[in-house]
Structure 1
Amino acid sequence: MIKLDEQLTMLKELTDAKGIPGNEREVREVMKKYIAPFADEITYDGLGSLIAKKVGLADGPKVMLGGHLDEVGFMVTNIDDKGFIRFQTVGGWWGQVMLAQRVTIVTSKGETITGVIGSKPPHILSPEARKKPFDIKDMFIDIGATSKEEVTSWGVRPGDMIVPYFEFTVMKNEKFLLAKAWDNRIGCAIVIDVLKNLQKEQHPNIVYGVGAVQEEVGLRGAKTAAFTIEPDIGFALDVGTAGDTPGVTEKESLSKLGNGPQIIIYDASLVSHKGLREFVVNVAEELHIPYQFESIPGGGTDAGSIHLTKSGAPSIAITIATRYLHSNASIIHRDDYENTVTLLTELVKRLDVDAVNKIKFE
């Protein structure tokens, strides 16, 4: 068994924590535990996003580093007479990755109940049925109950959170890390480690490390957090699609695990700010930090909300290439994580008033 170092222990606690949109408390407490020693102040917006403030220069520009706390999951909507759970997806899911997967229901009292998304055995499926994807609306969760009354006696009720189950795992190649919820606990971890690095550095600005809520249902927490902060510059730290597995074409993604952070030039919520994009690229090249360009036409990041705050804030998304997004388990490369932390630390150190003014009018 691989012994976890301090950084891996943090990643395990973040990814093992349970938190779908609107139910981020457990994850927020983990993030607070790790980031509080490096922050001057911890506050929250009205939806529950965590905001860790660190002052370098009190009259310097305000720089927002945002990861989001929530993961894709499900919510209990109904319990049938036989004790099977009907549910609603919360965030984007592809039905083919869901059947027969283990899940955890969290009751209003905080108790956890194990279940599995039910599936028919192939023995009773017609040849035609085997070829068709199963509709999510027809899926159910089996928690080993015999009646609706038994389920309700266990404290389960509509609105309860359901999360995928998977334990954090360091793979045989120890650079490869397997876990649920890399989307987007890795962004939260980056924010924590950047603030940790800045303890030893002078930075000519005020940094706000954010763990935003409800990204997976419309970039909501980033909007309220950014309205609270009113940043001059915004970075969204998130995951992006890896293109290095069989079946993923170069038209879908060019990125490879281990080739550095992804600089997102375009997504459905944001055209990356030209001046900020050039600033990021120049710093990466100056320091010989590997990077990859990527676009995400079918999805957005919290930068989409941050850049529209007040009169506007130059923003960009910097992401980690990730395999098997929005499923029970996905894979990242540790070098990409560490290079992203280094890049963001160095960017913050250079974002003084002159640099921000130049970026705005590039």
Structure 2
Amino acid sequence: MAQLDNTLQMLKDLTDANGIPGNEREPREVMKKYISEYADDISTDHLGSLIAKKSGKAGASKIMITGHLDEIGFMISNVDDNGFLKFQTVGGWWNQVMLAQRVRVMTNKGDIIGVIGSKPPHILPPEQRKKPVEIKDMFIDIGASSKKEAAEFGVRPGDSVVPVCDFTVMNNEKLLMAKAWDNRIGCAIAIEVLKRLQGQEHSADVYGVGAVQEEIGLRGAKTAANKVQPDIGFAVDVGIAGDTPGVSDNDAIADMGKGPQILIYDHSMVSHKGLRDFVTDLADKHEIPYQFDAMSGGGTDAGSIHLSGHGVPSLAITVPTRYIHTHAAILHRDDFEHAVQLLVEVAKALDEETIKEIKQNA
């Protein structure tokens, strides 16, 4: 791989880190390493969400920009007598993207590489070959010959399992492939916003948050929001890119490289109209590209943030991404850059009076 610039190195470190819901230590340490220089205070809540505060000029209001640290993965539930590992999913998986994929089992003795297997199709009845293999019929093969040997390797129930996919700059150098874009890109945006606010005047305190356990119910954002008590909340996450074969505008309308998505609604939240209008007007003023989008299924941490306290005007800003919730996803660097640029301008413009006006324009 060619020499990476500082931003790409941050993105590599974030996505190469391993952390399923409930075990986000690795990505939290990476995010802390990169964001500490730009924060006046670093803390965690009791679930492990990272909270980095950059103090504003007035300090009367609080803006919370949240990516989530966790990635989808698996957890070992049992080891059979022949050393094969049974597992449960942690986060949303589609059966068809799992078989024959390499995984990393995180044990107390170190990481072990394995592969997800099942009965070979050659010995299945013809009708069964046409059906996707159910997750309950899959297993992880780590090369152990027995339950005893798997235990000697360090494997035990409860161990985390993550996909294997190294961060890759593609031939089109704007396109970046990695596991865990969902949602280390949101964490990277939070880091970069605090970085670019250095030397910039902003009235409100800005909090860059790496939330835990988003993939299993938007949990860390709930506890982090209760700790921060923000006046305005943003979730920064991945969205669906609709620019691959077979996807129509009725399925997904956003394309990679045409700007971040302003989410109108999803399963967890209808976006706050006053905040949405403020953000899009500001984007228009600064000629920052963006796209509108909506998702009938799925949600973001904004779903928890907006219900905290007495209610928090919130908005989800997402980066169009191909192949989310698989081993390897692809996004466009320009969309990341424009999301950061937009949130920097938002943070600079959100003073106390403006926030009051937004709250009145629900």
Aligned equivalent of 2:28: 28
One-letter amino acid of the structure 1 residue matched with residue 65 of structure 2: L
Q: How does 1:122-201 map to 2 (within 5 A)?
A: 122-201=121-200
Tell me the CA shift for residue 108 of structure 1.
3.2
Q: Shift of residue 60 of structure 1?
A: 2.5
With 208-217 and 52-61 compared, the bigger mean Cα shift is at 52-61
Counterpart in 2 of 1:264? 263
CA drift at 1:141: 0.3
Q: Which moves more between the two structures, 295-304 or 247-256?
A: 247-256
Q: Distance in 2 between matches of 1:173 and 1:120?
A: 38
| Equivalent position amino acid for 1:27 in 2 | P
- Indicate the residue corresponding to 2:75 in structure 1: 75
Question: How many aligned positions are there?
Answer: 361
Q: Distance in 2 between matches of 1:85 and 1:34?
A: 35
| CA displacement at 1:10 relative to structure 2 | 0.4
User: Alignment partner of 2:294: what SS?
Assistant: strand
Unaligned runs of 5+ in 1: none
The aligned counterpart of 2:218 is 219
* Aligned-partner Cα distance in 2 for 1:132–1:220: 34
Residues 231-270 of structure 1 aligned to structure 2 (within 5 Å): 231-270=230-269
Summarize the alignment of residues 322-341 of structure 1 with structure 2, pairs less than 5 Å apart: 322-341=321-340
Once the two structures are superposed, what CA deviation does each residue of 1:252-286 show, in whole Å capped at 9, x if it has no partner? 21010001000000011100000000001001100
1:77-109, Cα deviation, whole Å (9 max, x unpaired): 000000000000000000000000000000135
2:97 partner amino acid: V
Partner of 1:59: 59
Report SS of the residue matched to 1:266: coil
Q: Which runs of 4+ in 1 moved over 6 A?
A: none
Helix, strand or coil at the partner of 2:265: strand
Partner of 2:99: 99
- Identify the residue that residue 89 of structure 2 maps to in structure 1: 89
Q: Distance in 1 between matches of 2:160 and 2:120?
A: 27
Counterpart residue identity of residue 158, structure 2? G
CA distance in 2, matches of 1:263, 1:3: 33
State the shift of 1:54 in Å: 0.6
In 2, distance between residues paired with 1:3 and 1:53? Answer: 31
TM-superposed CA distance for 1:58, in Å, is 4.1
Distance 2:120 2:170 in 1: 30
Question: Which residue of the partner structure matches residue 205 of structure 2?
Answer: 206
1:100-146 Cα deviation digits (max 9, x unpaired): 0000000135x100100013444334332221111011110000000
Q: Residue type of the partner of 1:308?
A: L
Offset at 1:249?
2.2
Structure 1 equivalent of residue 41 of structure 2: 41
Deviations for 1:293-349, whole angstroms, at most 9, x for unmatched residues? 011110010000000111011000000000001000000000000000000000000
User: Distance in 1 between the 2:54 and 2:194 partners?
Assistant: 8
Residue in 2 that maps onto 1:3: 3
Q: Amino acid of the residue matched to residue 74 of structure 2?
A: F
TM-score (norm 2): 0.98
Task: Judge which range, 200-209 or 56-65, deviates more.
Answer: 56-65
Question: 2:351 aligns to what?
Answer: 352
Amino acid across the alignment from 1:190: I
- Aligned partner letter, 2:29: E
What TM-score comes out, normalization by structure 1 length?
0.98
State the secondary structure of the residue aligned to 1:243: coil
For 2:121 and 2:138, locate their aligned partners in 1 and report how far apart those are by CA, in whole Å.
Answer: 16
SS in 2 for 1:296: coil
Task: Tell me how far apart the structure 2 counterparts of residues 227 and 339 of structure 1 sit (CA, whole Å).
Answer: 29
Q: Over residues 154-188 of structure 1, what are the superposed CA-to-partner deviations in whole Å (9 max), with x where a residue is unaligned?
A: 11111000000100000000000000000000000
Using the TM superposition, name which of 249-258 and 220-229 deviates more.
Answer: 249-258
* Partner Cα distance (2:125, 2:2) in 1: 45
Distance 1:69 1:217 in 2: 12
Shift of 1:57: 2.2
Q: Secondary structure at the match of 1:113?
A: strand
